[in-house]
Structure 1
Amino acid sequence: MADVSRTFTVASPLGEVVAYLRDFANTTAWDPGTEKCEQTTPGPVAVGTEWHNVSSFFGRTTELTYRMTRDDPDHVVFAGRNGAAITSDDLSFEKVDDASTSITYRAHLEFTGLARFADPAARLAFEVLAAKTVKQMTGVLEAR
């Protein structure tokens, strides 16, 4: 099991930040591990919306189904799953001022079955990936 948490501030208004990050298809821009992510359920983004995500982790490509499990004006959560892992991306938002937002990003990865033996290496790799994610997410949000 690997858990990381980062809190950082971006120079972008709260409403714009939440609107962008609540659509998990945008992970292709802000998550360095995501190669492809497409919404698979019809309609607007809401609790229950699902995405098919293709990511590269440990040099391996993996596919997960993500589902939005929380959609509040200041907090969104996405739960991912495939046959070898359970994941979550938990994002909380707080207005700093009219032009800035504080983001707390929590990511969880838990391997299942035989894949659980990868856990010790996953912790270290997850820490490195979290730092890259913060940098990339900040750049994307501030360029919008």
Structure 2
Amino acid sequence: MAEFESTITVDRPVGEVFDLVRDLENARYFDPQCVSVHRTTSGTIGVGTSFEFREPVPPFGRIGRTVCTYTALEAPERIVVEFCLGAFRGSECYLLSPDGAGTRLTTRGTVRVPLLLRPLSFVVASHGKRVWHARLRWIKNWIEAGAPRDGSWQPRAATPPKTTRTKLRIEQ
């Protein structure tokens, strides 16, 4: 299993950040890697709601399909999403807490690496860490710019957030 964690502080209240992060369709506005995203279930966003993403998959950059399903939504502090990308399965947990006048946003990811690819688990963990460094920076910049949905906001080069950690745990 590969695990990663990344944290950033967003200069907006917890409730506002939660509402914007909760709707995964917003990824199209802040993540330049997102080719497309759409909700595959109807109704309000809640446990069981699913989204489908299309984005480049390493190492060759072909466009892959990721299906994400909410398994927990605890407003305004916790969101848990299970995902499936080909043979990879995992979860992402978003934790939100007050940090001064802003919000501390932490993402923790766990990827179950298929048996034949376990020797590459560290590569998977490192890639997850890099991806989430960039995504958190883009989320922060997009929200602090007023969360425009008209295409006027363009992501800047992503630099890693200050607080990061990568762990690698190999399960037998």
In the alignment, what sits opposite 2:23? 23
RMSD: 2.0
In the alignment, what sits opposite 2:70? 68
Distance change >3 Å, CA 2–CA 132, structure 1 → 2: same
Aligned-pair CA distance for 1:77: 0.8
Amino acid at match of 1:110: R
Structure with greater strand share of residues? 1
In the alignment, what sits opposite 1:134? 136
Distance 2:15 2:95 in 1: 12
Unpaired stretches in structure 2, ≥5 consecutive residues: 147-172
Distance 1:84 1:14 in 2: 34
Aligned-pair CA distance for 1:13: 1.2
Write the mapping of 1:25-104 to structure 2, written as runs, cut at 5 A.
25-58=25-58, 59-73=61-75, 74-97=77-100, 99-104=101-106
SS, match of residue 93 in structure 2? strand
SS, match of residue 27 in structure 2? helix
Which 4+ stretches in 1 moved above 3 angstroms? 29-33, 113-118
User: Computing the radius of gyration over CA atoms, which structure comes out larger, 1 or 2?
Assistant: 2
State whether residues 83 and 112 of structure 1, in contact with CA within 8 Å, keep that contact through their aligned partners in structure 2: no
Distance 1:126 1:82 in 2: 13
State whether residues 8 and 137 of structure 2, in contact with CA within 8 Å, keep that contact through their aligned partners in structure 1: no
TM-score normalised by length of structure 2: 0.73
Structure with greater helix share of residues? 1
Aligned residues: 143
Distance change >3 Å, CA 122–CA 63, structure 1 → 2: same
Aligned-pair CA distance for 1:134: 2.0
Give aligned-pair identity as a percent: 24
Amino acid at match of 2:10: V
State whether residues 32 and 132 of structure 1, in contact with CA within 8 Å, keep that contact through their aligned partners in structure 2: no
State whether residues 70 and 81 of structure 2, in contact with CA within 8 Å, keep that contact through their aligned partners in structure 1: yes
TM-score normalised by length of structure 1: 0.86
Unpaired stretches in structure 1, ≥5 consecutive residues: none
Distance 1:31 1:110 in 2: 24
State whether residues 70 and 77 of structure 1, in contact with CA within 8 Å, keep that contact through their aligned partners in structure 2: yes
